[in-house]
Structure 1
Amino acid sequence: MTLPFKAVAVDMDGTFLNGERTYDKKLFDKVLTQLEERNVHFIVASGRPYARLRDDFIEFVDRMDFVTANGSRLMSDDKEIGITTMKRETILQLIEEVHAKYGKIATILFGPNMAYVGADAPRRDKDFLRYFAGNSTEVKGWDKLPDAQFIELTFHYDRKFASQIERDFNRKHGKLISVFGSADRAIDVNAYGVSKGNGLKEMLTKFGLTGDDLIAFGDGGNDIPMLDFAKYSYAMENGMAEVKNHARFIAPRNTENGVLRVLQEYLDKDQD
């Protein structure tokens, strides 16, 4: 049997990572080596910024590719190969309107190499957001933001409000943002049209591949576009019900090494 895919895409939180936000590095090295022997690309597709992902995979970073910030920034061989930014004025308008409606919830803004955390956020929320940020600094007022590139905004708030935020803002300002409920208490905002699916499409095109060559794993709302794009789509057993409706298959839970177990099954069959 020959592997039916030429690229693998995995979400991180709730998918590739276990409950302690770690992964079995020995097993991953084994699976990654077997994939490399078959010229299969391994791609992390995450809402996390590259600074965080690079730390997560520091031993493997030169053997992988990354679709980061929900598809806003593409990295290969530790080099940026694509980026989609948000306008500063759009970000400031959105923060002002969301805070006015929902309260001054913990907020973090990601640039390619630096993240900005609101100084007035609760300490517990700051620590939670900083974990995902990699490199970060506090801002005392969002109007004090530097003139820089920005690729993603995250509100530490119930994901059920994601579609409402997108609808309300775009209705008022035009089609400027795409919003995803990426975790129970995380709402990610990117430039309009950005998604993991579109980011993977752009990256795979550079490799001469399509969605028909892709196996993808996810559990959250921001994973739906990539599961729709991939021919071999897996929702995690622990994933959202809505996500499972967009997947062809179900993988074991993230706490049970679900992603690596499925990949190892494919690899074992390839040796028969």
Structure 2
Amino acid sequence: MLPSYLEDTNLSSIKLVATDMDLTLLADDKSMPEGIDERIDALAERGIVFCAASGRPGLALRESFPDHHADMAIVADNGASVYLRDELVYRDLIERELWREVLAVAVKTPRCVPVLCAFDDAYVLERDRGHEDVVGIYYRSITYVDSFEGLDVDSNKISIYFPAWDSKKNLDEVFAPAFGTRLYLTCAGDEWLDFMNIGIDKGSGIRHLVEHLGIDLADVAAFGDTYNDIPMLGIVGHSYVMGNAAEHMHAHGKFLAPTNNEAGVLTVIDRIVEAAK
């Protein structure tokens, strides 16, 4: 059993707090925990940077923090773009021929909704417009196209939504065999599969951010609940797995935080703030 967050007592040196969004900071109904703005302010007053680290694109993350995006950090698109106080400090691009190849396979895969991510914009097939209620949660600017073949855009990530919530099965049986040696593939929950360049993940995004800030990874606290959080949890000094996470995630963190529905991230932030006084 993973030790409780209460056993992490060396909190006074923390300079960056990074949290995943879905099923980590956000409740099951995707609502933001009450009091998050006050916690971000309290961290900033003590010289601690708050960071949202997510598979979501930068625009959606900025909109999630309307009062604070200019004062915080964002690791978006699973590390393919990194922002500090609204300044883009790092970005990564997938070669056009490679993302076209992935999308060609995805289009032919049953029960599969491919999304080409181009930073603040997303491209989705017209045939999949019926899934806008889900895709629109994460992508605010969606362009519907009849085919991906004619597109010529910069893309930093490919996401695939699986309405049957079988992303891991499709990863193992379809996409990892075809692309696992050329791209980094990770499940973002049971319903999403994300593709980035090899070496691009939330961990690499945090590395770029701490280098820009001039701080040590040992002085970072990170929170996560699923596969795409593992690279981030594995490199920081204070890693918290959420109480609602699957048990296999316990191997990838140092401490167990309360669940997302209990505002577990805020509970730990309160301890970090108190230690920094």
Q: Deviations over 1:162-213 (max 9, x none)?
A: 3555531236xxx421111001111111112110001100110111112111
- Of 114, 117, 125, the residue aligned with 2:124 is 117
Q: Could you tell me how far apart the structure 2 residues matched to 1:14 and 1:106 are?
A: 22
Residue matched to 2:68: 60
Deviations for 1:238-266, whole angstroms, at most 9, x for unmatched residues? 11222221000111111111100111023
One-letter code of the match for 2:261? T
SS at match of 2:267: helix
Give the Cα–Cα distance (whole angstroms) in 1 for the partners of residues 266 and 91 of structure 2: 29
Aligned partner (choices 21, 43, 49) of residue 30 of structure 2: 21
Q: Is the partner of 2:253 in helix, strand or coil?
A: coil
Q: In the alignment, which of 189, 196, 218 is matched to residue 190 of structure 1? A: 196
Return the offset for 1:122.
5.9
Q: Which residue of 2 aligns with 1:87?
A: 95
State the shift of 1:97 in Å: 2.1
- State whether structure 2 residue 272 is matched by structure 1 residue 263: no
CA RMSD of aligned residues (A): 1.7
Q: Which has the larger displacement, 31-40 or 181-190?
A: 31-40
Determine if the alignment matches structure 1 residue 134 to structure 2 residue 155.
Answer: no
SS at match of 2:248: helix
Residue type of the alignment partner of 1:153: I
Do the aligned residues in 2 keep the contact of 1:165 with 1:179 (CA within 8 Å)?
Answer: no
Which secondary structure state, in structure 2, belongs to the residue aligned with residue 59 of structure 1? Answer: coil
- 1:234 and 1:247 in contact (8 A); partners too: yes
The residue aligned with 1:243 is 249
Label 1:41 to 1:264 Cα distance change in 2 as closer, same or farther (>3 A): same
Note the residue ranges of structure 2 that are not aligned, 5 or more in a row. 1-9
**Residue in structure 1 matched with residue 42 of structure 2 by the alignment:** 34
Deviations 1:116-139 (A, max 9, x none): 11111261x232012211211111
Identity over aligned pairs, percent: 27
Seen in structure 2, the aligned counterparts of structure 1 residues 2 and 187 have a Cα distance that, compared at 3 Å, is closer
CA distance in structure 2 between the partners assigned to 1:120 and 1:255 by the alignment: 35
Structure 1 segments (4+ residues) deviating >4 Å = 163-166
Distance, in Å, in 2 between the alignment partners of 1:166 and 1:193 is 17
**Cα distance between partner residues in 2 of 1:2 and 1:105:** 43
In 2, are the aligned partners of 1:104 and 1:121 still within 8 Å (CA)?
no
1:32-78 Cα distance to aligned partner (Å, 9 max, x none): 12211211111111000011111111111111110100000011121
**Alignment gaps of 5+ in structure 1:** none
Q: Which amino acid aligns with 2:19?
A: V
Indicate the SS of the match to 2:159.
strand
